[in-house]
Homo-oligomer: A and B are copies of this chain.
Amino acid sequence: MIPQEFAAGDTDASPVGLGLPGVGMTAFEAADDRSLLALLETAAERALRDAAVDATEIDSVHVGNMAAEAFNDRSGLANALTASLGANLASARRIENTSASGASAFRDAVDAVRSGGSAVALAVGGEKMSAADTATATEIISRITHEREYRQGITLPSFAGLAADRYLAEYGADRRDLARVAVKNHANATNNSYAQFRTPITVGDVLESSAVATPLRLYDCCPTSDGAAAIVVTADAAPVTVEACESAVGVHAIADRRDPLHIESAHAAGRAAYEMARIGPEDVDVACIHDAFTILEWLELEELGFAERGTAWTLTRDGRTAIDGDLAVNPGGGLKARGHPLGATGIAQIVELVWQLRGDVPDERSTGSPEYGLAINVAGFGNNNVCTVVGANA
């Protein structure tokens, strides 16, 4: 099942091996009445407490946020947060990489520790989207696409709809198989107290929900959300370590891509991450995949070598990506059901992996005793991908 090119082999790269001693997040909500800064503070304080690290020990703060200027009329979050945490004299900056802002901030924190510049780095991601209605949020998010496509009114859901339509036609998957991605992720979220949607749904619910971009319906799409997540990165040993965090930019205009079902940048980021971590997809026990739309879960599973092209849908159909399957995918509910506060998501994915590898999850959401976890955080419709591998120290 594993494509040859992903087999772990000789490489010059060596695993990053930095400790992740503490993680934390807020429960994701459709609307949280706290300010974005308060959400970031809460997540950061939870991660620091989990790590038993005092704010004064932080050398650098890396804030992931996509669009606080547009959603919240705010700028300069990183300095406000750093000062309010009591980490004055640390360095600070915000990282924006659209819907991959969270993982990009995490990568930045990893680079800061790898470089020797920071002994303790704090990555915090968050977004407060409830300040905008859905149409405005869609408009803010659409601004990341190529100007040529943006001017034609194409939004991310429409790209996803086109890809889903093509996938179903090309590979023989059934519309109900696509719905099963959402059903699975909702089922996982019922056991996650941090998830925005904790109610199970059925294939029928998905098919009967309102149309968004044919064939995708409302329940194929992640919601808008408020929330934040945080991780401490250090050079010291910890039960879970980051083994790789690699990213790649893709062809910007979707129309310029050779194949709309091939996200080259996800493939490239995944390959680089496997090489650095010195593992292959067969070594991964649990994965957090950027399911902003159900179709993306399949496309990314294929790009990451978990299935041959055109076959990821069979994993869903056969229950192999369920919580008790060979490869548990989105055990926390994914973007679909945990929610998708843009700048928080990439960090929330890694928080979930750390919890899974430490065994800090309820039995119903446990994936056993995973050794390796992988997360992929996608900017736009594959405009950039950040792939992270974490490992448990035996």
Contact = CB atoms under 8 A, between A and B. Distances in A.
8 contacts: A76-B144, A78-B249, A79-B383, A83-B383, A91-B107, A92-B247, A95-B96, A114-B115
Interface in A98-120: 98, 104, 107-108, 110-112, 114-117
Contact of A250 (B37, B83, B96, B249): B83
A366 interface: no
Interface string A119-150: 00000000000000000000011011111000
B79 A93 contact: no
> What is the interface residue range for chain A against chain B?
35 or more
A191 B161 CA distance: 56
Contact of A380 (B70, B73, B79, B95): B79
A88 interface: yes
A366 to B, nearest CB: 33
A248 B82 CA distance: 10
A75 interface: yes
A179 B116 CA distance: 43
A70 B71 CA distance: 10
A246 to B, nearest CB: 7
B95 A93 contact: yes
A92 B82 contact: no
B90 A249 contact: yes
A89 B271 CA distance: 11
A211 interface: no
A394 to B, nearest CB: 26
Interface in A241-277: 246-252, 264-265, 268
A384 interface: yes
A94 interface: yes
A313 B18 CA distance: 48
